[in-house]
Structure 1
Amino acid sequence: MARSPEAKYTRQCSVNVANFVTVRPGSEGVDKINKFNIWKQQMICLLESQELMDFVNDEIVAPEKEKSEQYKLWRRTDSLVKGWILGSVGTDVLHQLLDNETARDVWDQLLNSIFKQHQQQPREIGEDYSRYLPLYQALMKDEWQTAWNTFPGINNLGTTIITSSSETILHIAVLAGKSNDLVKQLVEVMPPTALALKNSGGETALHNAATVGNTAAASVLVDKNPNLLHIVCNDKQLPVHTAAINCHKETLQYLISQHQHESNSNTHPFLFEGQLGVGFLNAIIASEYVDIALDLAQKYPNLTKIVDEDGDSALSIIAQTDTLFPRTDTFTWWQIFFYRRIPIKAIFEVEAGDTIHADATRDIENAIKHGAGQYSNSFHIFSRVGKKLEYMIWSVIEYLVPKLKELREKKSTHAQALQLAKHLCNKIVTLPENEALTIFEKSIHQAAIYGISELVEMIIDKYPSTIYYRDPDTDKDVFLLAATYRFENVTNLLYNMNDRRYILGSSTDDQDNNLLHICGKLAPSYRLNLVAGPALQMQRELQWFKEMENFVPASRRTWINKKKQTPQMLFTKEHEKLKEAGEKWMKDTANACTIAAALIATVMFAAAFTVPGGIEPTSGKPLLSKKPSFMFAVSDAISLFTSITSLLLFLSILTSRYAEEDFLYVLPKRLSMGLLSLFVSITFMLVAFSATLYLVLQRDVAWFVVLLTGFACLPITSFVLLQFPLLVDVISSTYGPGIFSKKTNRLMI
């Protein structure tokens, strides 16, 4: 809340300076720098506690003398601060400061003149702290008893600086995260103001506790001096900001609770409002603590409507945190299977203002209206029992497969992120048009380049005009941006749009590039590498190019940009190296598989004319003719035919013309059929081998036959583990449903 002009220059102060400032710095003595640093930290604590720091850091300047009443008020408070400083320094320093007129002048001379030489030479000062090295090492190793024996008066050294970074023993003990017994002892004997001593980065011991997540130490410090919660470091961060940035949830929750406990106090700025509050909320979202962010956004709705100093709102931070919205294109097949089925609990917002806990996959209306009628109550009871049983079963599965717990946490975080984004959109839409549009436009821009389709869709539904947003630097709209970074989940929204998609399909950027031009450029490497092998990457690029033809009018498919390039010309130029790499990869794969297929065909052809067990000398009939030898014959024939088929397919790959269009269907189709034929060939070759062993050795060592048959499965298993994933990728990308989803029943605005 802004102060009146009179209140701006007036402070009600009734403190004993001697309780805050216990050291008098002088310009002489071996320990003069150490004393000055301690004095400075104590004086800063005093000034900040009385909200007088503005008088020495140029935030409050002297009013004009013509405004005599305001000048008198300022002069009285400035003289108070000046008197505190002059009365707390040594006599030799005092004589050098007497000619200064204001408190700011005195402060500047102390920092920039009298003690300037020493502050500019920290490396020379660092050598003086070498005697504290054993103490430092003992503290970091949690051997505080050793530290006690080495320095018997350690409790009296609590405010002594022991490192070149101006860190005290308390700083180090808290930072170690283990020596909390020593922390308690130090805090007990130290005055509250001494706990606020800062290091060279302006960080107190509470900042260190927040940095390493030492909640126990933070509790001890705050209990002794609650003002530590409100001291900022050189980066203008409170300890609670530090806990959020360093992702220590337990410490963060503790510090938040302490700030909320002091919310009725007017002594310090309120954490949950203004720039301080939105910066804090943004830090929590960036650390992916969505549950905490959702709780704060609901308790303090004003934080959802403002932007920080960088112009970021809570919604735009969510749009930049793509890890909150996991994409299944980075999952394996089993992760996709379980991710879609594992149940979670989420909090759904009801219009009346209440919240209901329900299964995320259940319809929200059903969760809200479950209390109507006796039948509904009975059904709800059975439903709850079924859900609890389901959760119990999944808990057992998660215990057996720990990876599933990570999937459940991802899905739960995703659901909470959607709920938070929905809440933010509902609040932002109530702002004046220009403010709401600014926030929504930046958020939809971030969501498009990070591929968060759910957020893009949500923003367009809440504020339809954002669909016409264009990037001020490149003049690209949302879908041109998504195509640039190859996020098909965002461009798929075009299928669910009304006739406006024809306008968007014709849009161009500042270089006159339309959708086809954008897809003619090479995709970013981090998106391209999601596909295995240069050949399949080339196929994916062709799929993008062909798919965008559905949205670009025929008259625009040969559109020339400012560089005189049609989409096809641009595609050929940009993908020249990828095409060469794809050709080399395809030939290398075909060469390796050709050798394997040729060897199998040779062996199986020779084996076809070799009779297992030999023949009778008199009749010339096979000795094992009465046994089930047809298994050998059939397996041998299938292996021979499939290996030859595979050989021919790989030869056709080697002799292909390798045009751009061939990478779309022709080459992947031949590769998939060749790999499949080779896999079948290897399988039946081993079946024929096992059948032969069984026919020959079953009477003598049957157990040995079973053992060898088991070992025969090793090559098949090796092929499945090493080459089968490639076969699946090729078949999926060529014959699968594809990455582009067609229109659904849901129509966007």
Structure 2
Amino acid sequence: MESICVASRGIVREELTRYNYQEWKILMKNYLRGENLWDVVESGSVSTSIDEQRDAKALHIIQLSCAPNIFDQIKHFQTAHIAWKHLAEVCRPKFKIQPHIRPVVVSDVSEHKALYKFVENGDWEGTSSYLRDQPNAIFWTLPSGRTVLHVATIEGHKNIVEGLVYLGKKQLVKMQDEDGNTALALAAGYTENVNIARSMVNVEGGEELLGIENKEGEIPLLMAANSGRKRMTRYLYFRSSSHVIHHQSSHNRVLLLKRCIQAHIFDVASKLLESYGELPIEFLSVLHELARMPSAYLQADLWQTVIYIFKKGNLIDVILIMMLMTEKLMGFARNLFGLKSKNRESIFEHENEFLQILRYYKNNVSKFNSSQLRDALVYDAMLEAAKYGNVEFINDMREANHDLLWAMDDHGRDIFSYAVIHRKHNVFLLMHILCGNKDIINYRTDMFGNNLLHLAAHLGPLSDMNRGDVAAWQMKIEIEWFKEVEEVVHVKCREAKNEEGKKPEEIFMETHKELMKDGEKWIKETAGTFAIVGVLVITVMFTAIFTVPGGLRQDTGMPILIKEKRFIVFIVADVISLLTSISTVRIYIKLIGYRYAPVDFLERLPAMILSAVNFLSLSLVSMMIAFCAALGIVLQNLWSYKDFVVGIVVLTVIPYILPFWDFRTYIRLIAHQKSNFMERRLLDGSSLGFHKVHM
């Protein structure tokens, strides 16, 4: 039989993802037809050995053209027909457009245009006058099935909604549009106006609206939670009777809990869980949402970070953490004077509810056996928690069932492998308190022969690096992380080879090649730009020394005002500016011609860049001081200009502050990585409830 080329590039333009199924399906179907394989995929009948070979090739082609996450769903299927049907079921719903508010265009309204115009403009007098003449117009519907109450709700006119509800009563508020949404559903899903919702719920029989489902099978409470509207969700939940909530399907109850956690509406989620005596097993799927919560409640305290930096950090880190402290103090001053908004809602405001939910699941997870937890994907949730650095989740689940700590994915990677891959320092430190012999963990390899140091050698996630000028600082963090893991793992890991025959250092060099190039490029371009600035300052200050204010004596060539204090200030500032500019240019020229190695990004290059910026800043400040001194000499007889001169002197501090503004990203990285707050809590074990576990 003729061989078939199964290179994905020759089959489809893009691998199958959630978003390109329709295009992928057309290209794949045409390709299979051209290879005379489509009949096997379509019918699924395999009667001869030749058909079995054709089916295997078709299945291989389909699997090869899928993205990794899609491939994982069909890799266990034995026939192309089953795989094809599964992809159709899984991918089609992903392209369904979510419902949205379709605006009403008054000019397109076939009847009662004046009424809709009044409603659109928020004119209750016109609306009520029109309805007195034509009372049945209140129940007239648009082609979309929406009434004038739907329109008033969308527009957010509370007074008109209240008036319409008073006139239309229960009959009006229960009317649904073509999507099955009542006016309350629209208020819940698309607005945050609780007063509008309250006016509808408070009408006689209005509480029935809370349980009316739309065509998607969702009640207003579910829609509000899906939109992340916290005030609306809380109102609807506490107005909904237990009958309304528990009358929902198990899927909808789980969905409500998931949406509340995703939107950080922890108080509602906590109350929902409290309504159950014993947690149903289907609610364990919500653990994935809890696992994805960042470890926000155990972030390092600034002063703990400062202490650690001053004890173990180098000079650069000390300088940068001092700058961070200055920034924190400025933020405190802004809060003190009311310059920062007090209306921001943070996850920290719901710490107690979040921890309460976590403790609730901890108590219930202990009631299930390992088989049930595996079927409910709780082991996968542990890996998710490691990915997001949620050490609280890992600790609570470990106490509920110790076996969960050894969760492992299909590639043989455990939570510590995930912590290394995703640079989660707090989870990685768990190894220090889990067992006396850490070699059991840190010498473990995955199915590809990679130990923890191999995984640390790969390029880390760059989600927090969205600017090109931080490539150099990211390179520094990458090297620090690699060195930190190297100090922890077994000595044999440093020279161990994976299945591809590569050592950790070789992988590090390969995966960080582009990042190092970007960092090198940025450093050289920046050095070139600042070197030009330094040369200009040198030129100006070198010239200024021979054109001193007041002039020179004709007989001796000495400055006339040499005994003036302001002249001495001018000369000293000029010399300092000249010398520091020369030092700046020398450093930047060295950076431009420097042969970069990965280890240089750790300390040498940051030190050179920081010192060059300091020299250049000092040079500019000195130049401004020299300028002010010269200006004072020129205007010495015009005392009315003293305020002007003083103002210029004050402004000389600005060139010194501005160069450090772009170092805030690096400061945060240093502060985050060097923090020992979590390390102290983990190694102590008291505050998180850890105990030494020997294996």
Name the TM-score, length of structure 2 as normaliser. 0.70
Partner of 2:30: none
Q: Distance in 2 between matches of 1:335 and 1:676?
A: 13
Taking only the aligned residue pairs, the percentage that are identical comes to 26
Match of 2:541 among 588, 604, 619: 604
Displacement of 1:653 in angstroms is 0.8
- AA matched with 1:289: I
CA distance in 2, matches of 1:431, 1:289: 27
**Residue in 2 aligned with 1:206?**
184
Residue 47 of structure 1 is matched in structure 2 by: none
| One of 384, 397, 417 as aligned partner of 1:446 | 384
Q: Distance in 2 between matches of 1:420 and 1:531?
A: 40
Match of 1:157 in 2: 137
Q: Which residue of 1 aligns with 2:448?
A: 511
Cα 1:218–1:286 change in 2 (3 A) is same
Contact 2:149/2:172 (CA < 8 Å) preserved in 1?
A: no
Amino acid corresponding to residue 281 of structure 1 in structure 2: L
Determine which of 255, 261, 271 is the counterpart of 1:285. 261
Which of the residues 645, 654, 659 maps onto 2:597? 659
Contact kept, 8 Å, 1:187 with 1:224, in 2: the verdict is: no
CA contact (8 A) 2:245 2:253 kept: no
Q: 2:563 aligns with which of 595, 601, 626?
A: 626
1:178 maps to which of 151, 157, 172: 157
Distance across 2 between alignment mates of 1:269 and 1:292: 12
Residue aligned with 1:557, SS: helix
Amino acid at match of 1:687: I
Whether the 8 Å contact between 1:492 and 1:740 is mirrored in structure 2 is no
SS of residue paired to 2:423: coil
Distance 1:686 1:339, change over 3 A: closer
User: How far, CA to CA, are the matches of 1:736 and 1:136 in structure 2?
Assistant: 56
Change (3 A) 1:155 1:175: farther
Are the equivalent residues in 2 in contact too, given 1:288–1:324 (CA < 8 A)?
no
Alpha-carbon distance between aligned partners in 2 of 1:580 and 1:128, rounded to the nearest angstrom: 59
Shift in Å, 1:210: 1.5
Compared CA separation, residues 440 and 204, structure 1 to 2 (3 A) = same
1:694 aligns with 2:632: yes
Give distance in 2, aligned partners of 1:417 and 1:650.
Answer: 51
The counterpart of 2:641, out of the listed 669, 685, 704, is 704
Once residues 711 and 269 of structure 1 are traced to their aligned partners in structure 2, the CA distance between those partners, rounded to angstroms, is: 68
Taking the aligned partners of 1:675 and 1:171, their CA distance within structure 2 comes to 61
How far is 1:132 from its partner? 5.3
Mapping 1:92-491, distance limit 5 Å: 130-131=110-111, 135-147=115-127, 155-163=135-143, 165-186=144-165, 188-190=167-169, 192=170, 195-211=173-189, 212-222=191-201, 223-225=203-205, 226-260=207-241, 263=242, 270=246, 274-297=250-273, 299-302=274-277, 306-308=281-283, 312-313=285-286, 315-322=287-294, 398=335, 400-403=337-340, 405=342, 409-414=346-351, 416-435=353-372, 438=376, 440-472=378-410, 474-491=411-428
CA contact (8 A) 1:488 1:739 kept: no
Kindly provide the amino acid, as one letter, of the partner of residue 546 in structure 1: K
State the Cα deviation string for residues 16-46 of structure 1 (Å, max 9, x = none).
xxxxxxxxxxxxxxxxxxxxxxxxxxxxxxx
Deviations 1:322-369 (A, max 9, x none): 496696799998998699999xxxxxxxxxxxxxxxxxxxxxxxxxxx
Task: Summarize the Cα distance change of 1:736–1:630 in structure 2 as closer, same or farther, 3 Å threshold.
Answer: farther
Alpha-carbon distance in structure 1 between the residues aligned to 2:363 and 2:160: 48
Q: Which structure 1 segments of 5+ residues have no match?
A: 1-125, 343-393
Q: Shift of the alpha carbon at 1:686? A: 1.7
What's the offset of the Cα at 1:423? Answer: 3.9
Equivalent residue for 1:87?
none
Q: Could you list the per-position Cα deviations for residues 660-709 of structure 1 after superposition, in whole angstroms to 9, with x for gaps in the alignment?
A: 222222222211221111111221222222223334432x1234254145
Distance 1:151 1:426, change over 3 A: same
Code of the residue aligned with 2:515 in structure 1: it is L
Give the TM-score of the pair, scaled to structure 1: 0.65
Look up the SS of the partner of 1:523 in the other structure. coil
Aligned residue number for residue 550 of structure 2: 613
When residues 158 and 656 of structure 1 are mapped into structure 2, their CA distance, relative to the original with a 3 A threshold, is same
TM-aligned CA deviation for residue 588 of structure 1 = 0.5
Asked whether the 8 Å contact 1:272–1:300 carries over to 2, the reply is: no
1:665-676 equivalent positions in 2, closer than 5 A: 665-676=603-614
Q: Which has the higher contact order (CA 8 A, sep 6+)?
A: 2
1:156-191 Cα deviation digits (max 9, x unpaired)? 23443213x22233332333321543554445445x
Measure how far apart 1:410 and its partner are.
4.5
SS of structure 2 residue aligned to 1:525: coil
Q: Which stretch has the larger CA shift, 527-536 or 556-565?
A: 527-536
Task: Give CA-to-partner distance per residue, 1:710-745, whole Å, 9 cap, x none.
Answer: 335546514522x21345666887899736879534
CA distance in 2, matches of 1:504, 1:650: 45
Supply the distance in 2 between the matched residues of 1:654 and 1:249 (Cα, whole angstroms): 54
- Does the aligned pair in 2 maintain the 1:649–1:674 contact within 8 Å? yes
The answer on whether the counterparts of 1:284 and 1:290 sit within 8 Å (CA) in structure 2 is yes
| 1:44-77 Cα distance to aligned partner (Å, 9 max, x none) | xxxxxxxxxxxxxxxxxxxxxxxxxxxxxxxxxx
Closer, same or farther: CA 418–620 of 1 in aligned 2, 3 Å: same
Larger Cα-atom Rg = 1
Aligned pair count?
558
How has the CA–CA distance of structure 1 residues 432 and 281 changed in structure 2, closer, same or farther, with 3 Å as cutoff? same
CA RMSD in angstroms comes to 4.0
Aligned residue in 2 for 1:499: 436
- Could you say if the C-alpha distance between residues 232 and 554 of structure 1 is closer, same or farther in structure 2, counting changes exceeding 3 Å? same
What are the residue-to-residue correspondences of 1:487-566 with 2, within 5 Å?
487-499=424-436, 501-529=438-466, 532-566=469-503
**Cα distance in 1 for residues equivalent to 2:196 and 2:635:** 75
1:648 equivalent among 567, 586, 609: 586
